[in-house]
Structure 1
């Protein structure tokens, strides 16, 4: 192994740091190459060139995988701060150019896809036609993970503040969460149901004997927590994550359900279904998630500004049409 060059003469660049950071995060050259959009041989060659310049190894074999050496750990430890600073600098340069260039990679959950997202992308296109926008639909856990992995710049997600087991805070740890707006969670009941004639708000405890329509086991956490706070466990008769199917099942008299106002405003309630606020004030908070410092990148900051405006004022404002 060649001797290391004198202190202060190491030749580092942003590409080197991105490669080392990706290898550190994924523990695999192949996975790092996939995330960065390179071939595995290209990443391996990049690491070899870095090692030759530094005069010391960056990675070493560990069983069937690899691990960073002490030198690799040093680079990885500083990579995040350096890359964030470089991205912010690039963003400020784009700002000086009047946002005539740039890129925003968005992710959001399904009901936002048909309400918030089209208006957001449209507003960006109208005001900053040079900013390239890509969009990926994903449930909050995957959308937030995409921000953490560098696949997305901004994720529109939600959290349930009153739920004891809401996984959002843990999933977003270390990221920056921008609170947007409250989204009430409403009880859906068939017309003629006693809950429909009781008036708002509805006490969920009065529905302990009802059949419930719920999402998949991962998605029904808010229903379970809300019913638990009302003193009972819901009898779940039907499962679907399709909010239009939920409304149709309620219309058919198959049971009752909880749905966020945003989901209801995305598709008008069918005849025979009534929506009611709950006595406990069930709601979720719409949020935007970014990496720390990303809101200093002008294209992301502008997206956040437009998003904040579009999500203010209730469900009808979010969809851009009158409430049903």
Structure 2
């Protein structure tokens, strides 16, 4: 018998509300009127629930009805259940209406001083109820955070031909959408012979000392210089772009950095940045999970990211087949496990 009761109590919220209103108002007619149902519909709900429970819930009392002991027990607990359901519905409405919600985003360091502040400002203006939690991480760690569900979204970058590109094997099953092209620039001292050129052929710097950046940036430098027919003499290595600029200004070498890094940390006096003659660039991506755009707060964050005007940082929208396809896909963009 207890098992049957437990199964029978797996009822819809309408029946619970009806029993609770009969307890409050003392009649089926009044309960139906307050809930916006017809009296026959309320009676049918009661009959079905009584049949499932095997217990009567109402009994006639003069011209009206009264709840039986079983009905009173159900009404007492129905109040708690319906209040919880109403609270849940309210919170879900807040989420759907973007009056609340939390999004976790990971991005690389030079985005922290450029893209992220702009995104935070736009979200706070459009959807003040949405809270954005930010984690600074290089692309491999950021992609892993999305896969491990410690981040909802990640802004990452990749270099053309990079064999360690985290958007390939490690991003299988995730979405990776190209957003912008970030131009690679050669940083040289102002008195360097190449400083007067509008664009620099890396082969002209074969005899210079180089300052290497992060491991993936160094790998990209080695790839580019190999194509130029030389191996760079990397004398110093640092992930700190401010330190890179200081070393170049001190005449210790030359460096290859992305435009976004210069936007995050402007060049000091005594050095200049020039594009390469090959117009080298890296691609900035938005990474997420399948279906992430179905969550209202995440969808709002995705829209805000894609609508950012990146021109002040010398970022340009990605052109080509990937970008064309992304415009014809869902909100997050083209779904391309890479």
The question of whether the paired residues in 2 share the 8 Å contact of 1:95 and 1:298 is answered with: no
Q: For the residues of structure 2 that align with 1:219 and 1:232, how far apart are their CA atoms?
A: 17
Match of 1:299 in 2: 297
Two-structure CA RMSD over aligned residues (Å): 2.3
Match of 1:244 in 2: 242
Match of 1:181 in 2: 180
Q: For the residues of structure 2 that align with 1:210 and 1:112, how far apart are their CA atoms?
A: 29
The question of whether the paired residues in 2 share the 8 Å contact of 1:94 and 1:298 is answered with: no
Alignment of 1:99-114 (within 5 A): 99-114=98-113
Q: Deviations over 1:129-151 (max 9, x none)?
A: 11121111111111110000000
- The Cα shift of 1:204 comes to 0.4
Match of 1:212 in 2: 210
- 1:134 is paired with a residue whose SS is strand
- The Cα shift of 1:179 comes to 1.3
Out of 283, 286, 290, the position equivalent to 2:284 is: 286
Number of aligned positions between the proteins:
228
Alignment of 1:152-191 (within 5 A): 152-191=151-190
Runs of 4 or more consecutive aligned structure 1 residues displaced over 3 Å after TM superposition: 93-97, 162-168, 216-219
Tell me which structure has the larger Cα radius of gyration. Answer: 2
- 2:308 is paired with a residue whose SS is helix
Q: For the residues of structure 1 that align with 2:145 and 2:294, how far apart are their CA atoms?
A: 19
The question of whether the paired residues in 2 share the 8 Å contact of 1:310 and 1:317 is answered with: no
Alignment of 1:217-236 (within 5 A): 217-236=215-234
Indicate how the Cα distance of structure 1 residues 177 and 314 shifts in structure 2: closer, same or farther if over 3 A, else same: farther
Q: For the residues of structure 1 that align with 2:149 and 2:305, how far apart are their CA atoms?
A: 20
Match of 1:257 in 2: 255
- The Cα shift of 1:95 comes to 7.8
Per the normalisation by structure 2, the TM-score is: 0.63
- The Cα shift of 1:165 comes to 4.8
Per the normalisation by structure 1, the TM-score is: 0.66
Q: For the residues of structure 2 that align with 1:225 and 1:242, how far apart are their CA atoms?
A: 21
Q: For the residues of structure 1 that align with 2:112 and 2:252, how far apart are their CA atoms?
A: 27
In structure 1, runs of 5+ residues without a counterpart are 1-10, 12-89, 319-324
Match of 2:270 in 1: 272
- The Cα shift of 1:164 comes to 4.7
In structure 2, runs of 5+ residues without a counterpart are 1-9, 11-88, 317-338
Q: For the residues of structure 1 that align with 2:210 and 2:94, how far apart are their CA atoms?
A: 51
Out of 310, 320, 323, the position equivalent to 2:308 is: 310
